[in-house]
Structures are given as structure tokens and as C-alpha cells.
Structure 1
Amino acid sequence: MKSMKLISVTFIILLSSCAYTPKVLQGDFSTITPAQSKLNHDTNVDVRWSGYIAQTVNKKDKTCFEIIPSETNQNLRPTRIIPKNSSRFLACKDGFLEPHAFNERMVTITGTLVAYTKQNVGEYEYEYPVVKTDVIYIWTKQPPIRNINVFTNFSHFHCGISFIHGYCF
């Protein structure tokens, strides 16, 4: 019985180590989504949004990222699932940031929703929520999961291991 408790505690510790949320992304943020924010033009709201960088634009005094939002996992890492009624947003940070380091990367940002602006996506005029960004957390590219296939007469098993790391600017 004592060994069963030890195994249970060890298992819980191992599972909790897998659910790591980067410290810079922790905190109290609004649950409003980019699409919801556009309905009422909310501003002065602290948000934490995730997605994929579609484009990076360097302006005179800041760098802005056009981000396509995605759902997140329990670690706040963007998944490959783009919500049906999603809305792109702009995340702007003071100063110059190298566009090549960010393009097509998964990010989670924190900051304050400050404005709305209209820009074209192709020929379509699109309204973007604009976030004055405090943190831009770049998730490392996920390596493919390595599968170990075990075939027997009775079953087929798959196992995989992957590690998640990120960078913060």
C-alpha cells in the first residue's frame, strides 16, 4: 500500500512537470478573444493571445506583427487549430526587432489592447485590434514526434516523445 502511494505521488509529479506554463506568460488577463474585442471596440484591456505570425512590419519607432490567432494547449502554446470565427490582430513592440527571426513562428503575446486600425489583406479592408505588447514569447518549432511502433499478433502500439521550449523577447 505504501509503495502504491509512492508510485501515485511520483506519477502526479511527472505529469505536473509536463504542464509547464512559462513564467512570463502567467498572470491575470482578460478572456476576451480578438474577434470578441472588435464587437465593442474594447480598449485598455490586458490580454494574452496566441497564434502564428503572418507578417512582420518594421515602422519608424516600433515593430508590428500581424498574427493569425489559434487555440492554445494547457501550456498556452498555440495549437494548429484556428478558431472558426477568429480575427487577426496586430501586436506592436517599441524598437526594432529582426523580421526574419519571427516570420511564420508561433507566439504568445501579453499586452494592452489599445486601438483598432484598418489595413488591407489582399484587396479586402480588414479591421485589426492593436495590442501594445509587453511580452512576445516565441515558441520553438516542434520537432516531429518520433514514433516507436510495436507490432504483435494482438495489438499495435504507438509511443512518442516531444519537448517544448520557447524564447522570450
Structure 2
Amino acid sequence: MFNGAMMKPLILVLSLLLTACVQPPKPLRGDYSTMPPQQYQKTPITDLRIRWTGIVIDVENKPEHSCLIIMAKVPNEYARPSYQNRVDLGRFIACKPKFLEPKYFKGRAVTVTGRVKRLVVKKIDALDYNYPLVDADVIYVW
């Protein structure tokens, strides 16, 4: 049916198509640090460009901005929280200068790109927790 001369271009085209499919969505593509939130807590770097992923556990709305509190997860090849790898990578906060609907975001898987500005201390029960604060460019909801 196919001879050797026809197979090479076909294999090349199929390989390119499969490679194109194993990428994050366009808004999440780019060069980002591989440092996870829990490592950032130990060695903070101002304006570190990140792409972190996780599950939204809370939403805080203020007059000037809204923030998502996210439990970080290991990303898969699409930059989506991996459901195979259940390791938690700490927590982080991602903020945007607009209203974020709590009912829409709570419990959702998200991927965030942006720059980490600083550590912010907030309480988790009686514990003071150092959250990396991200000035989010993209909050991608899966």
C-alpha cells in the first residue's frame, strides 16, 4: 500500500503533529523558572518568571484586586496539574487587578504565569505561612 519513499514524509508529518499536540496551550507557552513554590519560600528571587499550577483553595476579593490562594501541584506535559503525581508543592497566591468570582474558581485546576513579587505571611489556622505572591499575567482555568 505505502512504499518506503511515501512512508518517510508521512512519518515526519505525523511526528510533527504529535509533537505539536504535546505542548501547553498558547497562553502558557514560554520560558519559565522550574523552581516550585516551596523552594521559592527558602530562596526568594524578586521578579522570578514562573508558570505554576495547582488547585484553587480560596479567593480573596479586595477593591483594587483579587487573589487566588492555590495549593501547588506538579505540572504535566501540558502545564496542567498532574493527576498521576499527587505531590503537593506548597501554596502560592496569584493576584489580578480585577474581580475573580469565588464560586467559579474554588476547587478548580489552574495554571498561572507571571512574576513572583515577594513572600507574604498569612495564617493557616495557627501557623504563619510564607506565600509566594505572584503578579499574574495569565490564570488559565482547566
**TM-score bracket for the superposition, by shorter chain length:** 0.7 to 0.9
Say which structure, 1 or 2, has more relative contact order (CA 8 Å, 6+ apart). 2
TM-score, scaled to structure 2: 0.87
- Alignment match, 1:51: 54
Question: In structure 2, what is the Cα distance between the partners aligned to 1:2 and 1:138?
Answer: 44
Unaligned runs of 5+ in 1: 140-169
Give 1:13-32 correspondences, 5 Å limit: 13-32=16-35
Cα-to-partner distance string for 1:89-118 (whole Å, 9 max, x where unaligned):
000111212111211111111111111111
Say whether residues 1:100 and 2:103 are aligned partners.
Answer: yes
Once the two structures are TM-superposed, the CA of residue 50 in structure 1 deviates from its matched residue by: 0.7
Please give the secondary structure, in 2, of the residue aligned with 1:36. helix
Provide the TM-score with structure 1 as the length reference: 0.74
Relative distance call for 1:60 and 1:82 in structure 2 (3 A) is farther
Number of residue-to-residue matches in the alignment: 138
Structure 2 residue corresponding to 1:88, chosen from 85, 91, 98: 91
Q: Once the two structures are aligned, what percentage of the paired residues are identical?
A: 36
- Offset, 1:35: 1.0
Q: Which has the higher helix share?
A: 2
Higher gyration radius (CA): 1
Aligned residues: CA RMSD: 1.7
Q: Which runs of 4+ in 1 moved over 4 A?
A: none
State which of 56, 61, 64 in structure 2 corresponds to 1:61.
Answer: 64
